[in-house]
Amino acid sequence: MCKSSELATRRQVAVARGVAGKAIYAAQARNAELWDVDGARFVDFTAGIAVTNTGHRHPKVMAAVAKQAEAFTHTCFHVAGDEGYLRLCERLNALLDTGSENKAICLTTGVEAVENAVKIARAATGRPGVVAFGGAFHGRTQLGMALTGKVMPYKKGFGPLPGAIFHAPYPNAFHGISVDEALRGLDTLLTADIAPEEVAAFIIEPVQGEGGFNVTPPAFLKALRERADRHGILLIADEVQGGMARTGRMFSIEHSGVKPDLVTLAKGLAGGFPLSAVVGRADLMDSPHPGGLGGTYAGNPLATAAANAVLDVIEEEGLCERAEHIGRRLKQALTRMAAVVGHEAIGDVRGLGAMVAFELVEAGDPAHPAPALCAEIVAEAERRGLILLSCGTRANVIRLLPALTIEDAILDEGIGLMQDAIRAVLGRVQKAA
Protein backbone atom coordinates (compact mmCIF):
# COMPACT_ATOMS: atom_id res chain seq x y z
CA MET A 1 0.00 0.00 0.00
CA CYS A 2 1.36 3.44 -0.93
CA LYS A 3 1.62 6.15 1.70
CA SER A 4 -1.28 8.14 0.18
CA SER A 5 -3.59 5.13 0.41
CA GLU A 6 -2.52 4.53 3.99
CA LEU A 7 -3.27 8.13 4.91
CA ALA A 8 -6.62 7.96 3.13
CA THR A 9 -7.55 4.96 5.25
CA ARG A 10 -6.49 6.71 8.43
CA ARG A 11 -8.41 9.82 7.40
CA GLN A 12 -11.60 7.81 6.92
CA VAL A 13 -11.34 6.57 10.49
CA ALA A 14 -10.11 9.75 12.19
CA VAL A 15 -11.59 12.73 10.31
CA ALA A 16 -15.25 13.69 10.16
CA ARG A 17 -16.73 12.95 6.72
CA GLY A 18 -18.05 16.51 6.43
CA VAL A 19 -14.49 17.68 5.75
CA ALA A 20 -14.27 17.20 2.00
CA GLY A 21 -10.96 16.96 0.17
CA LYS A 22 -8.81 15.37 -2.50
CA ALA A 23 -6.76 12.21 -2.15
CA ILE A 24 -3.52 14.21 -2.29
CA TYR A 25 -1.36 14.27 0.83
CA ALA A 26 1.36 16.91 0.66
CA ALA A 27 4.94 16.29 1.71
CA GLN A 28 6.56 19.40 0.28
CA ALA A 29 5.66 22.46 -1.78
CA ARG A 30 7.61 25.25 -3.46
CA ASN A 31 6.08 28.22 -5.28
CA ALA A 32 3.57 26.61 -7.70
CA GLU A 33 4.73 23.01 -7.33
CA LEU A 34 3.69 20.37 -4.80
CA TRP A 35 5.02 16.87 -4.06
CA ASP A 36 2.91 14.27 -2.31
CA VAL A 37 3.98 11.69 0.28
CA ASP A 38 4.71 9.17 -2.49
CA GLY A 39 6.96 11.56 -4.39
CA ALA A 40 4.48 12.44 -7.14
CA ARG A 41 4.92 15.99 -8.42
CA PHE A 42 2.00 18.31 -9.20
CA VAL A 43 1.66 21.74 -10.78
CA ASP A 44 -0.60 23.60 -8.36
CA PHE A 45 -3.28 25.75 -9.99
CA THR A 46 -5.12 26.25 -6.67
CA ALA A 47 -2.70 28.16 -4.41
CA GLY A 48 -4.52 26.66 -1.43
CA ILE A 49 -7.72 28.32 -2.75
CA ALA A 50 -6.11 31.74 -3.43
CA VAL A 51 -4.12 31.70 -0.18
CA THR A 52 -0.54 31.33 -1.39
CA ASN A 53 -0.73 34.14 -3.94
CA THR A 54 2.98 34.67 -3.26
CA GLY A 55 3.61 30.96 -3.80
CA HIS A 56 4.33 28.16 -1.38
CA ARG A 57 7.08 29.15 1.06
CA HIS A 58 8.11 32.46 -0.48
CA PRO A 59 11.59 33.15 0.96
CA LYS A 60 10.71 36.64 2.21
CA VAL A 61 7.55 35.41 3.92
CA MET A 62 9.35 32.49 5.52
CA ALA A 63 12.20 34.73 6.71
CA ALA A 64 9.77 37.21 8.27
CA VAL A 65 7.95 34.44 10.14
CA ALA A 66 11.20 32.86 11.33
CA LYS A 67 12.43 36.21 12.64
CA GLN A 68 9.16 36.82 14.48
CA ALA A 69 9.18 33.29 15.93
CA GLU A 70 12.52 34.02 17.57
CA ALA A 71 10.94 36.95 19.44
CA PHE A 72 7.50 35.59 20.43
CA THR A 73 4.67 33.66 18.79
CA HIS A 74 1.65 34.85 20.75
CA THR A 75 0.65 37.33 23.40
CA CYS A 76 -2.96 38.05 22.39
CA PHE A 77 -3.27 41.60 21.12
CA HIS A 78 -5.71 42.35 23.95
CA VAL A 79 -2.99 41.49 26.49
CA ALA A 80 0.15 42.89 24.87
CA GLY A 81 0.00 44.49 21.46
CA ASP A 82 2.79 44.39 18.91
CA GLU A 83 4.09 46.65 16.19
CA GLY A 84 3.50 44.09 13.43
CA TYR A 85 -0.27 44.29 13.94
CA LEU A 86 -0.17 48.09 13.97
CA ARG A 87 2.02 48.30 10.89
CA LEU A 88 -0.24 45.96 8.95
CA CYS A 89 -3.34 47.99 9.83
CA GLU A 90 -1.59 51.19 8.80
CA ARG A 91 -0.63 49.72 5.46
CA LEU A 92 -4.07 48.25 4.71
CA ASN A 93 -5.70 51.55 5.65
CA ALA A 94 -3.48 53.37 3.17
CA LEU A 95 -4.14 50.85 0.38
CA LEU A 96 -7.97 50.97 0.49
CA ASP A 97 -9.83 53.91 -1.02
CA THR A 98 -13.12 54.45 0.76
CA GLY A 99 -13.08 58.20 0.19
CA SER A 100 -12.36 58.64 3.88
CA GLU A 101 -9.80 57.96 6.59
CA ASN A 102 -9.68 54.25 7.41
CA LYS A 103 -9.14 51.97 10.37
CA ALA A 104 -8.69 48.20 10.48
CA ILE A 105 -8.88 45.15 12.72
CA CYS A 106 -7.04 41.86 12.35
CA LEU A 107 -8.82 38.54 12.80
CA THR A 108 -8.16 34.91 11.91
CA THR A 109 -10.46 33.53 9.18
CA GLY A 110 -12.43 34.90 6.26
CA VAL A 111 -15.81 34.21 7.80
CA GLU A 112 -14.63 35.87 11.03
CA ALA A 113 -13.92 38.99 8.99
CA VAL A 114 -17.38 38.77 7.41
CA GLU A 115 -19.10 38.40 10.78
CA ASN A 116 -17.20 41.35 12.22
CA ALA A 117 -18.01 43.50 9.18
CA VAL A 118 -21.70 42.76 9.78
CA LYS A 119 -21.31 43.58 13.48
CA ILE A 120 -19.66 46.89 12.60
CA ALA A 121 -22.36 47.72 10.04
CA ARG A 122 -25.13 46.98 12.54
CA ALA A 123 -23.43 49.00 15.27
CA ALA A 124 -22.85 51.94 12.93
CA THR A 125 -26.36 52.07 11.51
CA GLY A 126 -28.48 50.71 14.36
CA ARG A 127 -30.20 48.51 11.78
CA PRO A 128 -30.50 44.70 11.72
CA GLY A 129 -30.92 43.75 8.06
CA VAL A 130 -28.22 42.54 5.68
CA VAL A 131 -28.74 41.86 1.97
CA ALA A 132 -26.52 39.32 0.22
CA PHE A 133 -26.82 37.88 -3.28
CA GLY A 134 -27.58 34.63 -5.04
CA GLY A 135 -24.54 32.43 -5.55
CA ALA A 136 -22.56 34.21 -2.84
CA PHE A 137 -20.21 32.44 -0.47
CA HIS A 138 -19.40 34.13 2.82
CA GLY A 139 -18.34 31.21 5.04
CA ARG A 140 -19.48 28.22 7.05
CA THR A 141 -20.40 29.66 10.45
CA GLN A 142 -24.09 30.19 11.19
CA LEU A 143 -24.03 33.80 10.00
CA GLY A 144 -21.72 32.93 7.12
CA MET A 145 -24.10 30.20 5.97
CA ALA A 146 -27.07 32.53 6.28
CA LEU A 147 -25.33 35.05 4.01
CA THR A 148 -24.23 32.38 1.51
CA GLY A 149 -26.44 32.04 -1.54
CA LYS A 150 -26.09 28.30 -2.12
CA VAL A 151 -27.72 25.45 -0.18
CA MET A 152 -25.52 22.42 -1.01
CA PRO A 153 -23.15 21.67 0.53
CA TYR A 154 -23.08 24.70 2.79
CA LYS A 155 -26.51 25.05 4.40
CA LYS A 156 -28.38 21.77 4.13
CA GLY A 157 -29.20 20.30 7.54
CA PHE A 158 -27.60 23.09 9.56
CA GLY A 159 -30.60 25.31 10.29
CA PRO A 160 -32.22 27.29 11.69
CA LEU A 161 -30.03 30.12 10.50
CA PRO A 162 -29.83 33.68 11.86
CA GLY A 163 -32.60 36.07 10.85
CA ALA A 164 -32.63 39.50 9.21
CA ILE A 165 -30.61 38.11 6.27
CA PHE A 166 -32.05 38.51 2.78
CA HIS A 167 -30.92 37.47 -0.70
CA ALA A 168 -31.37 39.39 -3.93
CA PRO A 169 -30.69 38.11 -7.47
CA TYR A 170 -27.13 38.28 -8.74
CA PRO A 171 -26.55 39.50 -12.31
CA ASN A 172 -25.15 36.73 -14.48
CA ALA A 173 -25.45 37.22 -18.22
CA PHE A 174 -24.36 33.64 -19.02
CA HIS A 175 -27.19 32.35 -16.84
CA GLY A 176 -29.69 34.80 -18.34
CA ILE A 177 -29.90 37.32 -15.46
CA SER A 178 -29.25 40.87 -16.64
CA VAL A 179 -28.15 43.80 -14.49
CA ASP A 180 -31.59 45.38 -14.89
CA GLU A 181 -33.34 42.18 -13.86
CA ALA A 182 -31.13 41.79 -10.80
CA LEU A 183 -31.77 45.40 -9.79
CA ARG A 184 -35.51 44.91 -10.17
CA GLY A 185 -35.22 41.91 -7.87
CA LEU A 186 -33.30 43.95 -5.31
CA ASP A 187 -35.81 46.79 -5.46
CA THR A 188 -38.66 44.32 -5.05
CA LEU A 189 -36.95 42.85 -2.00
CA LEU A 190 -36.62 46.33 -0.50
CA THR A 191 -40.35 46.82 -0.98
CA ALA A 192 -41.75 43.40 -0.19
CA ASP A 193 -39.42 41.87 2.42
CA ILE A 194 -37.52 44.57 4.33
CA ALA A 195 -37.66 48.35 4.28
CA PRO A 196 -34.45 50.08 3.15
CA GLU A 197 -34.27 52.00 6.43
CA GLU A 198 -33.97 48.67 8.25
CA VAL A 199 -31.01 47.45 6.16
CA ALA A 200 -27.55 47.90 7.65
CA ALA A 201 -25.52 46.68 4.68
CA PHE A 202 -25.29 45.16 1.25
CA ILE A 203 -22.52 42.53 1.14
CA ILE A 204 -21.19 41.39 -2.20
CA GLU A 205 -18.15 39.71 -3.75
CA PRO A 206 -16.86 41.86 -6.63
CA VAL A 207 -15.85 38.51 -8.13
CA GLN A 208 -17.80 35.58 -6.74
CA GLY A 209 -15.58 32.79 -5.49
CA GLU A 210 -17.34 29.52 -4.73
CA GLY A 211 -20.28 30.78 -6.80
CA GLY A 212 -18.31 30.31 -10.01
CA PHE A 213 -15.82 33.18 -10.47
CA ASN A 214 -18.62 35.38 -11.76
CA VAL A 215 -17.44 38.95 -12.27
CA THR A 216 -19.96 41.42 -10.85
CA PRO A 217 -20.71 43.96 -13.60
CA PRO A 218 -19.43 47.45 -12.71
CA ALA A 219 -22.86 48.86 -13.56
CA PHE A 220 -24.40 46.68 -10.85
CA LEU A 221 -21.83 47.73 -8.24
CA LYS A 222 -22.42 51.38 -9.14
CA ALA A 223 -26.17 50.90 -8.78
CA LEU A 224 -25.64 49.26 -5.38
CA ARG A 225 -23.50 52.21 -4.30
CA GLU A 226 -26.22 54.63 -5.41
CA ARG A 227 -28.94 52.77 -3.52
CA ALA A 228 -26.72 52.45 -0.47
CA ASP A 229 -26.08 56.18 -0.44
CA ARG A 230 -29.73 56.99 -1.01
CA HIS A 231 -30.93 54.86 1.89
CA GLY A 232 -28.04 55.14 4.36
CA ILE A 233 -27.01 51.52 3.75
CA LEU A 234 -23.35 50.46 3.95
CA LEU A 235 -21.59 48.60 1.14
CA ILE A 236 -19.36 45.70 2.23
CA ALA A 237 -17.02 44.26 -0.41
CA ASP A 238 -16.08 40.67 0.42
CA GLU A 239 -12.52 40.42 -0.93
CA VAL A 240 -11.63 37.21 0.89
CA GLN A 241 -10.88 35.30 -2.33
CA GLY A 242 -10.58 38.11 -4.86
CA GLY A 243 -8.32 40.45 -2.89
CA MET A 244 -4.56 40.79 -2.42
CA ALA A 245 -3.55 41.32 -6.07
CA ARG A 246 -5.35 38.20 -7.30
CA THR A 247 -7.38 40.04 -9.97
CA GLY A 248 -4.67 42.47 -11.05
CA ARG A 249 -5.65 45.06 -8.44
CA MET A 250 -5.01 44.97 -4.72
CA PHE A 251 -8.79 44.80 -4.24
CA SER A 252 -11.06 43.44 -6.94
CA ILE A 253 -13.65 46.19 -6.44
CA GLU A 254 -11.11 48.67 -7.82
CA HIS A 255 -11.92 47.45 -11.35
CA SER A 256 -15.37 49.06 -11.03
CA GLY A 257 -14.31 52.43 -9.64
CA VAL A 258 -16.78 51.95 -6.78
CA LYS A 259 -15.66 52.84 -3.26
CA PRO A 260 -16.84 50.44 -0.55
CA ASP A 261 -17.47 51.37 3.08
CA LEU A 262 -15.96 48.17 4.49
CA VAL A 263 -13.81 45.41 3.00
CA THR A 264 -13.15 41.90 4.28
CA LEU A 265 -9.78 40.25 3.62
CA ALA A 266 -8.25 36.83 4.32
CA LYS A 267 -6.77 34.02 2.15
CA GLY A 268 -3.95 35.72 0.22
CA LEU A 269 -3.34 38.25 2.99
CA ALA A 270 -0.70 36.25 4.86
CA GLY A 271 0.80 33.80 2.38
CA GLY A 272 -0.43 30.63 4.03
CA PHE A 273 -0.76 31.75 7.65
CA PRO A 274 -4.24 32.17 9.21
CA LEU A 275 -5.12 35.86 9.18
CA SER A 276 -8.03 38.02 8.11
CA ALA A 277 -8.95 41.67 8.41
CA VAL A 278 -11.74 44.19 8.14
CA VAL A 279 -10.73 47.56 6.73
CA GLY A 280 -13.06 50.50 6.33
CA ARG A 281 -14.11 54.02 7.09
CA ALA A 282 -12.78 55.08 10.49
CA ASP A 283 -16.13 56.50 11.64
CA LEU A 284 -17.77 53.14 10.99
CA MET A 285 -14.95 51.02 12.37
CA ASP A 286 -15.10 52.99 15.64
CA SER A 287 -18.83 52.34 16.10
CA PRO A 288 -18.56 49.18 18.26
CA HIS A 289 -17.76 49.76 21.93
CA PRO A 290 -14.32 48.75 23.30
CA GLY A 291 -14.22 44.98 23.76
CA GLY A 292 -16.89 44.41 21.13
CA LEU A 293 -14.33 43.32 18.53
CA GLY A 294 -11.35 41.00 18.66
CA GLY A 295 -10.40 37.44 19.50
CA THR A 296 -7.74 35.37 21.21
CA TYR A 297 -5.78 34.51 18.06
CA ALA A 298 -6.83 37.58 16.06
CA GLY A 299 -3.79 39.21 14.51
CA ASN A 300 -1.35 36.52 15.62
CA PRO A 301 2.21 37.91 15.43
CA LEU A 302 3.48 35.18 13.10
CA ALA A 303 0.60 35.82 10.71
CA THR A 304 0.96 39.62 10.73
CA ALA A 305 4.71 39.24 10.09
CA ALA A 306 3.82 37.07 7.10
CA ALA A 307 1.24 39.59 5.88
CA ASN A 308 3.65 42.51 6.06
CA ALA A 309 6.10 40.44 4.01
CA VAL A 310 3.34 39.57 1.52
CA LEU A 311 2.62 43.29 1.00
CA ASP A 312 6.32 43.86 0.38
CA VAL A 313 6.44 41.04 -2.18
CA ILE A 314 3.31 42.27 -3.99
CA GLU A 315 4.91 45.68 -4.43
CA GLU A 316 8.50 44.64 -5.09
CA GLU A 317 7.65 41.87 -7.55
CA GLY A 318 4.81 43.71 -9.29
CA LEU A 319 2.27 40.99 -8.58
CA CYS A 320 -0.73 43.02 -9.72
CA GLU A 321 0.82 43.29 -13.17
CA ARG A 322 1.91 39.67 -12.96
CA ALA A 323 -1.69 38.62 -12.24
CA GLU A 324 -2.82 40.36 -15.43
CA HIS A 325 -0.13 38.53 -17.42
CA ILE A 326 -1.08 35.14 -15.97
CA GLY A 327 -4.77 35.79 -16.60
CA ARG A 328 -4.18 36.71 -20.22
CA ARG A 329 -2.23 33.48 -20.81
CA LEU A 330 -4.94 31.36 -19.19
CA LYS A 331 -7.82 33.04 -21.01
CA GLN A 332 -6.07 32.90 -24.38
CA ALA A 333 -5.45 29.17 -24.01
CA LEU A 334 -9.02 28.46 -22.93
CA THR A 335 -10.60 30.70 -25.56
CA ARG A 336 -8.64 28.91 -28.29
CA MET A 337 -9.77 25.56 -26.95
CA ALA A 338 -13.40 26.67 -26.75
CA ALA A 339 -13.30 27.64 -30.44
CA VAL A 340 -12.34 24.12 -31.56
CA VAL A 341 -15.12 22.02 -33.07
CA GLY A 342 -16.13 19.41 -30.52
CA HIS A 343 -15.26 21.65 -27.55
CA GLU A 344 -18.67 23.31 -27.30
CA ALA A 345 -18.86 22.09 -23.70
CA ILE A 346 -16.59 25.00 -22.76
CA GLY A 347 -19.50 27.38 -22.58
CA ASP A 348 -17.90 30.40 -20.96
CA VAL A 349 -14.40 31.63 -20.12
CA ARG A 350 -14.28 34.45 -17.58
CA GLY A 351 -12.45 36.16 -14.76
CA LEU A 352 -10.28 39.10 -13.78
CA GLY A 353 -6.51 38.92 -13.58
CA ALA A 354 -5.34 35.51 -12.37
CA MET A 355 -8.80 34.59 -11.09
CA VAL A 356 -9.99 32.68 -14.16
CA ALA A 357 -12.64 30.01 -14.72
CA PHE A 358 -14.41 28.11 -17.46
CA GLU A 359 -17.96 26.80 -17.23
CA LEU A 360 -18.90 23.43 -18.68
CA VAL A 361 -22.31 22.87 -20.26
CA GLU A 362 -23.92 20.32 -22.53
CA ALA A 363 -23.63 21.14 -26.24
CA GLY A 364 -22.84 24.78 -25.49
CA ASP A 365 -26.23 25.37 -23.84
CA PRO A 366 -26.00 27.50 -20.66
CA ALA A 367 -29.30 26.02 -19.48
CA HIS A 368 -27.78 22.54 -19.24
CA PRO A 369 -24.80 22.39 -16.85
CA ALA A 370 -22.34 19.51 -17.07
CA PRO A 371 -21.14 18.82 -13.50
CA ALA A 372 -20.07 15.24 -14.27
CA LEU A 373 -17.88 16.48 -17.12
CA CYS A 374 -16.39 19.08 -14.79
CA ALA A 375 -15.51 16.44 -12.19
CA GLU A 376 -14.00 14.19 -14.87
CA ILE A 377 -11.72 16.94 -16.18
CA VAL A 378 -10.53 17.77 -12.65
CA ALA A 379 -9.78 14.08 -12.03
CA GLU A 380 -8.02 13.65 -15.40
CA ALA A 381 -5.86 16.71 -14.75
CA GLU A 382 -4.88 15.31 -11.37
CA ARG A 383 -3.86 12.00 -12.94
CA ARG A 384 -1.62 13.97 -15.28
CA GLY A 385 -0.05 16.01 -12.48
CA LEU A 386 -2.14 19.20 -12.32
CA ILE A 387 -4.25 20.21 -9.32
CA LEU A 388 -7.50 21.97 -10.23
CA LEU A 389 -10.63 22.87 -8.27
CA SER A 390 -14.28 23.06 -9.25
CA CYS A 391 -16.84 25.59 -8.05
CA GLY A 392 -20.12 27.16 -9.15
CA THR A 393 -23.71 27.02 -7.98
CA ARG A 394 -24.23 24.13 -10.41
CA ALA A 395 -20.86 22.42 -9.71
CA ASN A 396 -19.84 22.80 -13.35
CA VAL A 397 -17.09 25.43 -13.22
CA ILE A 398 -13.33 24.84 -13.09
CA ARG A 399 -11.40 27.64 -11.43
CA LEU A 400 -7.75 28.47 -12.01
CA LEU A 401 -5.75 30.09 -9.21
CA PRO A 402 -2.03 29.70 -9.87
CA ALA A 403 0.39 31.51 -7.59
CA LEU A 404 1.09 35.03 -8.83
CA THR A 405 4.80 34.18 -8.55
CA ILE A 406 4.55 31.13 -10.81
CA GLU A 407 7.43 30.82 -13.27
CA ASP A 408 6.45 31.09 -16.94
CA ALA A 409 7.78 27.59 -17.63
CA ILE A 410 5.62 26.10 -14.88
CA LEU A 411 2.62 28.15 -16.02
CA ASP A 412 3.07 26.83 -19.57
CA GLU A 413 3.43 23.29 -18.24
CA GLY A 414 0.23 23.63 -16.25
CA ILE A 415 -1.67 25.07 -19.21
CA GLY A 416 -0.46 22.18 -21.35
CA LEU A 417 -1.58 19.63 -18.75
CA MET A 418 -4.97 21.33 -18.52
CA GLN A 419 -5.40 21.31 -22.29
CA ASP A 420 -4.42 17.65 -22.49
CA ALA A 421 -6.92 16.76 -19.76
CA ILE A 422 -9.73 18.66 -21.49
CA ARG A 423 -8.97 17.07 -24.87
CA ALA A 424 -8.80 13.60 -23.36
CA VAL A 425 -12.11 13.88 -21.54
CA LEU A 426 -14.00 15.56 -24.39
CA GLY A 427 -12.55 12.98 -26.78
CA ARG A 428 -13.88 10.14 -24.64
CA VAL A 429 -17.29 11.80 -24.48
CA GLN A 430 -17.42 12.17 -28.26
CA LYS A 431 -16.45 8.53 -28.78
CA ALA A 432 -19.14 7.39 -26.35
CA ALA A 433 -21.82 9.51 -28.03
* pLDDT at residue 432 in the model: 82
Fold annotation for 60-316? Aspartate Aminotransferase; domain 2 (3.40.640)
| Beta strands at 262-265 and 276-281: parallel, antiparallel or unpaired | antiparallel
CB 357 within 8 A of CB 393: no
For residues 177 and 219, give the distance between their C-alpha atoms in angstroms, rounded to a whole number. Answer: 14
Is 254 strand, coil or helix? helix
Q: In this structure, are residues 51 and 267 in contact, taking their beta carbons and an 8 Å threshold?
A: yes
Alpha carbons 68 and 114: distance in angstroms, whole number: 28
pLDDT at 113: 98
* Per-residue pLDDT, 431: 84
Residue 34, φ and ψ in degrees, nearest 5: -140, 140
pLDDT tens digits, one per residue of 222-267 = 999 999 999 999 999 999 999 999 999 999 999 999 999 999 999 9
* Cα 281 from Cα 340, distance rounded (Å): 49
Pair 385, 420: CB distance under 8 Å: no
User: How far is residue 203's CA from residue 303's CA, in Å, rounded to a whole number?
Assistant: 26
Homologous superfamily (CATH) for 3-57+318-432: Aspartate Aminotransferase, domain 1 (3.90.1150.10)
Q: Looking at residue 429, what is its pLDDT?
A: 85
Query: 426 phi and psi, to 5 degrees?
Result: -65, -35
Q: Which stretches of the chain drop beneath a pLDDT of 50?
A: none
Nearest Cα to Cα of residue 173 among 28, 359, 401, 408: 359
Strand pairing category for 397-400 and 199-204: unpaired
User: What was the pLDDT predicted at 139?
Assistant: 96
Whole-number pLDDT of residue 317: 98
Q: What is the pLDDT of residue 358?
A: 98
pTM over 0.95: yes
Contacts 24+ apart (CB under 8 A), 84-93: 84/301, 84/304, 84/305, 84/308, 85/299, 85/301, 85/304, 87/304, 87/308, 88/277, 88/299, 88/304, 88/307, 88/308, 88/311, 89/277, 89/279, 91/308, 91/311, 92/265, 92/277, 92/279, 93/279
Q: pLDDT tens digit string along 101-147?
A: 999 999 999 999 999 999 999 999 999 999 999 999 999 999 999 99
Dihedral angle of Cα 233, 107, 354, 247, to the nearest 10 degrees: 30
With CA atoms as reference, report the closest residue to 275 among 253, 246, 297, 244: 297
- Residue spans of the domains in the chain: they are 3-57+318-432, 60-316
Q: What is the pLDDT of residue 426?
A: 96
Q: How far is CA 33 from the centre of its chain?
A: 21
